[in-house]
Structure 1
Amino acid sequence: MEKTGMELQKLSNGLHYEADGSVEGGVPPEEEKFLQHKDGGSKRPQFTDFEGKTSFGMSVFNLSNAIMGSGILGLSYAMSNTGIVLFLILLTCIACLSCYSVHLLLHSAGVVGIRAYEQLGFRAFGHPGKILAAVIITLHNIGAMSSYLFIVKYELPLVIQTFLGQTSTSEEWFMNGNYLIIIVTVCVILPLAMMKHLGYLGYTSGFSLSCMVFFLSVVIYKKFNIACPKELFGNFSMNADMPEDTCAVKYFTINQETAYTIPILAFAFVCHPEVLPIYTELSNPSKKRMQRIGNVSILGMFIMYFFTGIFGYLTFYEKTEAELLHTYSKVDALDTLILCVRLAVLVAVTLTVPVVLFPIRRALLQLLFPGKPFHWLRHIAIAVCLLFAVNLLVILVPNIRDIFGITGATTAPTLIFILPGLFYIRIVPTSQEPMTSRPKIQAACFTTLGFIFMIMSLTFIVIDWITGEKRSHGGH
């Protein structure tokens, strides 16, 4: 339940609510930025220093764009290792858990009148909690930005090569992926990252989502235009019979890859660092309205994920590769439609980078400049430094899959499960909900589930390192 008008008025008059519900005089600097003080109490106190103007639809676009990552290219491979029914069960469970996680965040934010992930950490655990939340958001989103730029680095030269009709990689500068990501960053990503508010990116997020809808449409179309692809199963003559189970649909599959797939599906719904910034800029904000935005966004991505997974799987069956577009290229490397899809995916991931950058900048501002008013120089300087660091990382490190595997296995479960559950337990006063109440017990179980996901993910990565097997799964 959100704060009543009386509780909000108390906050605006300088009363500080602790996690246990106690009141303390004076508002610390961390909260000055989030509570707008009105003379005489004639107006309803605001959470931020500006009036939110982002519409419901634009907020859905931004949150959906934050949810959708490069991992959509690996969902068909995930289905090939789980089977259709088991994949649907897992995807449904994880989507529902993500909605519940958003509910925990919004409820915690409503109790204390704060709409910043880092400030919830401060309210729950003091400065260590604030620092931990900021560091986790920064690490996770830098990993996500880097994964998107890696796609640009390796896919854009291939697209240019195909457009120019070349069959081999040229030595020209415009075929060098390192130069291309710098050009894309300076010309496209940086101008969008310099926007003052996240809501302004609603239009680019909508266009990015339309590119992914085009990708899904082509995946569905190709299912009905590619018979059982013999190119992937070996050399069979037209009259030779292939094994009966070669293109057989599997509904339940358990193998070595199945357990490894579960965390990947969970990571596909990571959007939680963006939830509160989007909530801050929402017009006519309320917990119920923001929860609907979260539910609509997650439902939309659930539908896209499932259809992408099933139609990709039904095209290539057990020969589905971790990167779906690469599998199409093996059937027809010069397919014009697949070339267009590659270009659409490049546009989509490029336009997602600025949306992912906003929570990092907000976390750094909360960490380094708490309580400071908005300043353009700080706003732009942080964006430039972040993009410079990410570009440098992508250029200098040839293979950072293991680095991002570790950060992804630790930060994603923390952001989805562990921190929202802990915030709820610590922030909601025991006078409202005792520790033995059902909501608190559910939050505790939710947090425990996050630790299980983390341990499981790290275990699989260590096993990969020990055995020397490197799996190229898609990730968020």
Structure 2
Amino acid sequence: MKQTEMASFSRDEDNSHYQDPESENFLPEKNPGNSKYDTEYHQGNASFGMSVFNLGNAIMGSGILGLSYAMANTGIALFMILLVSVALFSLYSVHLLLKTANEGGALVYEQLGYKAFGWPGKLAASCSITMQNIGAMSSYLYIVKYELPIVIQALSGANGEWYTNGDYLVLLVSFFIILPLSLLKNLGYLGYTSGLSLLCMVFFLIVVIIKKFEIPCPLPDIHAVNETSSKVHNLTVSINNGTADDCTPKYFVFNSQTIYAIPILTFAFVCHPAILPMYEELKNRSQKRMQRVANLSFLAMFVMYFLAALFGYLTFNVHVESELLHTYSRFYQADVLLLVVRVAVLTAVTLTVPVVLFPIRTSINQFLCVSGFSWIRHTIITMSLLAGTNLLVIFVPSIRDIFGFIGASAAAMLIFILPSAFYIKLVKKESMRSMQKIGATAFLLLGFLVMIGSMTLIILDWVHNATKVVPDGH
């Protein structure tokens, strides 16, 4: 899963004397205030291959579940153009980050922000990473809300019981499993779940490809195949028998949901806070070598993303939901292979939530400027974060809205705006008239355009949908 939390493990800023005691046993702190020489020549111990694998873990996340929905609302050709563009922009952003780290002498995202713009820069970086992590937590809990009821219903045969209600289940899982794990001071062993998560997503991709050749087109009557699924999940089902036109893939699509495509893609590709800690750990480190790591990791994830989006879209076409795995339940709820996939994904995301919560809590502790460890403070922050995330998951109607909002705000900041702003400010040896600075400035402006444009269109869509569902009378 997306490990943006890695960027928060080393946060000894030049102006801060606070060190969260939790971090002592999670990942070792590196030397604070690295000089340019240290940044360039201090050697890590992670091999090239392991770095590629780790960065793949950092890129891969729940965003893969929304890509088929993005393709259904853009068409294959337009989606491919957007996917290539976001991947290339993300790689260019990595290039800016690596060059800025070498010049600025910092290997922590927030520390670069502080060196560039002082406390406002640090706050912008920290808030963006925190928002991204909250979005990741929400998306993982959405998967619990969507998929766990289906697993329980398939195993028990229950129909409409309270324990098949996704809202109740996400609260129970959060309270009895996630909360105890999140309250532990040492969460280091949970770091291994990133590898498990990547394997689960590879398994998911294989099943998506297999099911494309097993599920007929046109799709069967959803009411006959899975009459009770919509009641369990409080979904409004409008699909009857499929038509032949549903089986014809579209190459260019423009509708009210097309606006979510770019935010979903940026959410899927953001991994930039993890770049600098991985760069620090890379053996025989150099900017060129780390860029090669990024190129291979992004290429591998690009292929996985495209295949998952394409085969999911070709299977369901216009009927793809914002969370692909849930779409299968509407037609084939009792499928054993899909049941295994659900259990694997549920296990991975449940164990990943405490890991994602960890750096958010650490960041809050640092901004409170507290010293020493307090179980009361530790518990209050943890429970508040989990409670807030659960409220989001229960009351926000779709995972698409989480993908869209976080992708348009925090992900746009982390990919476009902050790396280019840090580069322009900290890389002194290039003049503002150089091609490098002009390119970074254009990238910065593009980031603002993406963020403001996407957020505006998404908010307008929310307002339109809200007015559309308000009844005329009581």
Q: Report the TM-score range of the alignment, normalised by the length of the smaller protein.
A: 0.7 to 0.9
Contact kept in structure 2, 1:270 and 1:412, CA below 8 Å:
yes
Q: CA deviation at 1:171?
A: 5.0
- Given the alignment, which residue of 436, 446, 451 partners 1:449? 446
- Given the alignment, which residue of 89, 94, 97 partners 1:102? 94
- In structure 1, C-alpha distance between the alignment counterparts of 2:164 and 2:332, rounded to whole Å: 26
Q: Which position in structure 1 is the counterpart of 2:273?
A: 273
- Given the alignment, which residue of 194, 202, 217 partners 1:205? 194
Q: Deviation string for 1:428-472 (max 9, x for gaps)?
A: 00xx2110111111111111111111112211222123212599x
Give the 3 Å change call, closer, same or farther, for CA 242–399 of structure 1 in structure 2.
Answer: closer
Q: Which position in structure 1 is the counterpart of 2:66?
A: 74
1:316-465 superposed matches below 5 A = 316-357=316-357, 359-360=359-360, 363-364=363-364, 367-368=367-368, 377=373, 387-397=382-392, 398-400=394-396, 406-429=405-428, 432-465=429-462
Equivalent residue letter for 1:215: F
Q: Deviation string for 1:10-44 (max 9, x for gaps)?
A: xxxxxxxxxxxxxxxxx954599865799xx9xx9
- In structure 1, C-alpha distance between the alignment counterparts of 2:220 and 2:191, rounded to whole Å: 42
Q: CA deviation at 1:58?
A: 4.1
Q: Which runs of 5+ in 2 are unaligned?
A: 1-12, 19-28, 225-240, 469-474
Tell whether 2:190 aligns with 1:179: no
SS at match of 1:436: coil
Q: CA deviation at 1:52?
A: 4.3
Contact kept in structure 1, 2:267 and 2:403, CA below 8 Å:
no
- In structure 1, C-alpha distance between the alignment counterparts of 2:180 and 2:427, rounded to whole Å: 45
- In structure 2, C-alpha distance between the alignment counterparts of 1:205 and 1:256, rounded to whole Å: 35
Q: Which position in structure 2 is the counterpart of 1:227?
A: 216
Q: Which position in structure 1 is the counterpart of 2:205?
A: 216
- In structure 1, C-alpha distance between the alignment counterparts of 2:69 and 2:177, rounded to whole Å: 29
Q: CA deviation at 1:417?
A: 0.3
Q: Which position in structure 2 is the counterpart of 1:260?
A: 260
Give the 3 Å change call, closer, same or farther, for CA 36–150 of structure 1 in structure 2.
Answer: closer
Contact kept in structure 1, 2:68 and 2:320, CA below 8 Å:
yes
Equivalent residue letter for 1:426: K
Contact kept in structure 1, 2:267 and 2:406, CA below 8 Å:
no
Give the 3 Å change call, closer, same or farther, for CA 285–422 of structure 1 in structure 2.
Answer: same
Q: Which runs of 5+ in 1 are unaligned?
A: 1-26, 236-240, 472-476
Contact kept in structure 2, 1:36 and 1:47, CA below 8 Å:
no
Q: CA deviation at 1:73?
A: 1.4
- In structure 1, C-alpha distance between the alignment counterparts of 2:274 and 2:358, rounded to whole Å: 8
Contact kept in structure 2, 1:82 and 1:254, CA below 8 Å:
yes
- In structure 1, C-alpha distance between the alignment counterparts of 2:157 and 2:242, rounded to whole Å: 35
Q: CA deviation at 1:180?
A: 1.5
Q: Which position in structure 2 is the counterpart of 1:12?
A: none
Equivalent residue letter for 1:67: I
Give the 3 Å change call, closer, same or farther, for CA 310–173 of structure 1 in structure 2.
Answer: closer
- In structure 1, C-alpha distance between the alignment counterparts of 2:458 and 2:33, rounded to whole Å: 50
- In structure 2, C-alpha distance between the alignment counterparts of 1:134 and 1:317, rounded to whole Å: 39
SS at match of 1:115: coil
Give the 3 Å change call, closer, same or farther, for CA 115–357 of structure 1 in structure 2.
Answer: farther
SS at match of 1:230: coil
SS at match of 2:118: helix
- In structure 2, C-alpha distance between the alignment counterparts of 1:108 and 1:71, rounded to whole Å: 28
- In structure 2, C-alpha distance between the alignment counterparts of 1:59 and 1:90, rounded to whole Å: 26
Q: CA deviation at 1:345?
A: 2.0
SS at match of 2:316: helix
- In structure 2, C-alpha distance between the alignment counterparts of 1:51 and 1:385, rounded to whole Å: 39
Q: CA deviation at 1:254?
A: 2.5
- In structure 2, C-alpha distance between the alignment counterparts of 1:224 and 1:407, rounded to whole Å: 34
Aligned residue pair count: 425
TM-score normalized by the length of structure 2? 0.78
- In structure 2, C-alpha distance between the alignment counterparts of 1:269 and 1:404, rounded to whole Å: 12
- In structure 1, C-alpha distance between the alignment counterparts of 2:268 and 2:205, rounded to whole Å: 16
Give the 3 Å change call, closer, same or farther, for CA 270–190 of structure 1 in structure 2.
Answer: farther
Work out the percentage of aligned pairs sharing the same amino acid. Answer: 51
TM-score normalized by the length of structure 1? 0.78
Contact kept in structure 2, 1:137 and 1:363, CA below 8 Å:
no
- In structure 1, C-alpha distance between the alignment counterparts of 2:17 and 2:54, rounded to whole Å: 26
SS at match of 1:105: helix
- In structure 2, C-alpha distance between the alignment counterparts of 1:268 and 1:403, rounded to whole Å: 12
Q: CA deviation at 1:327?
A: 1.9
Q: Which position in structure 1 is the counterpart of 2:22?
A: none
